[in-house]
Amino acid sequence: MIYLDNCSTTPMSEDALKEYGKYASACFYNPSASYAEANKVRLKLDEAREKLKKMLGAKGGEIIFTGGATESNNLSLKGSEREGKWEYVVSIGEHPSVLEVAKSMEKKGRVVHYIPLTKNGEIDYSFLEKVLNKKTRLVSVMLVNNVTGAINDIKRVSQLVKSLSPQAVLHVDGVQAFKKLNFSVNALDIDLLSISAHKFHGPKGVGALYVKNKTQLKNIIFGGGQEFGIRSGTENVAGIMAMVKAAEEIDTEKAFRHVKQLHDAFLHEIENEKGISVVCPDGSPYILCLLFAGVNSETLVRMLENDVVVGRGSACSSKKAGNSVLEAMGYSREQVKGALRVSFSDISTLKEVESAAKIIKEKYLELYERTK
């Protein structure tokens, strides 16, 4: 079986698994305790924060450890919410862990502006410029779209936000970008950035939020005051240490070159095949969103599952009808019905990818003949 649903999750690396075992057993101590062994664990957590900050290109700021990107995204929006006549700006292409929070804010009477997407999958920058004002409290735009791979120009976004809404904070969902694209939160002038360990060979159930200025963020979980008082609860030390180990193992530039080769090889196998079109072919090479005319992709995914594992979009919303991202780009419900997502990782091989492309093409033609 060939696994090509790496946007959904990735297998833990051997070194990350070893690190997890070490801190789950031998070094299991609670970092909030006062005895010597616990102090050693707390120092290791501090080292882990600094390592992540360095990998993110952060000069200053803090790392808040969370239970994953969903929590990091929720914390960013809810923690930035304020009483009064503030306004919030969110891309319509965001992950449900951002969009659902925005909808809940609307129900409370908050003013939320949704930035539409253009045909190339990026946000509409002119719309963003129009809605930004001095009452804007938060802007949330992801770096790499998890459905299409479209890459937003975050530098352009941050420049607009800082010039037109000086009191606003910029949140970026960096889940499909961290350790996949080279970027710096400092160079892009990002205030908040979310990451998730299991997207880059770390464990599930752990993530982090980079926070440029923690005084801008209020806590949404109350308890013992861990994580600078912003995220109470005993830290998942084993998960955190494994997450950092997994991140350290990846050479971002080397991985990018390898995945770009896989991406191009896959496209070469399916190009010119009637009925198959590619959404955002120039986006992140880690993600390929394909449209298969005349078939239901859910049926195609099931036909493939013994040979090739692929996805239909965000795993967090795979059971919902339609695809809000593709529809926001102007694709019809009929076109969206045939959408399938192939996503690569640094451990995918060229042989696997070429074989998978041929199998997908064959199964599609078989299904198309059966349904026409």
Where in the sequence numbering do the catalytic residues fall? 316
**CB of 213 closer than 8 Å to CB of 61:** yes
| Reduced 3-state DSSP string for the chain | CEECECCCCCCCCHHHHHHHHHHHCCCCCCCCCCCHHHHHHHHHHHHHHHHHHHHCCCCCCEEEEECCHHHHHHHHHHHHCCCCCCEEEEECCCCHHHHHHHHHHHHCCCEEEEECECCCCCECHHHHHHHCCCCEEEEECCCECCCCCCECCHHHHHHHHHHHCCCCEEEEECCCCCCCCCCCHHHHCCCEEEEEHHHCCCCCCCEEEEECCHHHCCCCECCCCCHHHCECCCCCHHHHHHHHHHHHHCCHHHHHHHHHHHHHHHHHHHCCCCCEEEECCCCCCCEEEEEECCCCHHHHHHHHCCCEECECCCHHHCCCCCCHHHHHCCCCHHHHCCEEEEECCCCCCHHHHHHHHHHHHHHHHHHHHHHC
Beta-sheet strand order (sheet of 136-140): 62-66, 207-211, 192-196, 169-173, 136-140, 87-91, 111-115
Q: Which amino acid, 42?
A: R
**CB of 293 closer than 8 Å to CB of 338:** yes
CA angle, 162 then 153 then 171, to 5°: 55
Question: Kind of pairing, strands 207-211 and 192-196?
Answer: antiparallel
- φ, ψ at 115 (rounded to 5°): -75, 120
